[in-house]
Amino acid sequence: MSIQPTKLEITAGGRLRIAWSDGQVREYAVRELRDKCPCATCREKRSAPPPPATSLPILSAAEAAPLRIAAMNPVGHYAYGIDFSDGHSTGIFTLESLREMGEEVARSK
Ligand SMILES: [Zn+2]
């Protein structure tokens, strides 16, 4: 994959914005990225049967706080590791998957 991010920033609204080398600019809700976290633990959680309707989910303080991206770390030239503010940091997001998530908000020429 030869298209690379040229700029990463967090918008005023707390979304991740990535400018790509082909001129596309995409924005990502942090919650969307967290929900699509590709690590083994999260994949397992998503495929588990939903809890019984009578049980209320119990959120830790970190989970209840607004979710932010604490850090993004390049993994070679093909992916980013994302540290979320809830302490979860094992997800490796490939550039290809990032191109499929979020929404295109602009195209610079
Ligand atoms: Zn995960």
For ligand 1, the distance from its centroid to the CA atom of residue 92, given in whole angstroms, is 8
For ligand 1, the distance from its centroid to the CA atom of residue 94, given in whole angstroms, is 13
CA distance linking residue 35 with residue 43, whole number of Å = 10
What pTM does this model have?
A: 0.84
The more confidently predicted of residues 53 and 37 is 37
What pLDDT, on the 0 to 100 scale, is given for residue 36?
96
Copy the structure tokens of residue 10. Answer: 């967090």
For ligand 1, the distance from its centroid to the CA atom of residue 33, given in whole angstroms, is 10
pLDDT grade, residue 109 (50/70/90)? low
For ligand 1, the distance from its centroid to the CA atom of residue 1, given in whole angstroms, is 23
For ligand 1, the distance from its centroid to the CA atom of residue 37, given in whole angstroms, is 5
CA distance linking residue 32 with residue 99, whole number of Å = 13
Helix (H) or strand (E) segment spanning residue 61: helix 61-64
For ligand 1, the distance from its centroid to the CA atom of residue 53, given in whole angstroms, is 24
What pLDDT digit, counting tens, does each position of 10-35 carry? 999 999 999 999 999 999 999 999 99
For ligand 1, the distance from its centroid to the CA atom of residue 82, given in whole angstroms, is 10
What pLDDT, on the 0 to 100 scale, is given for residue 76?
92
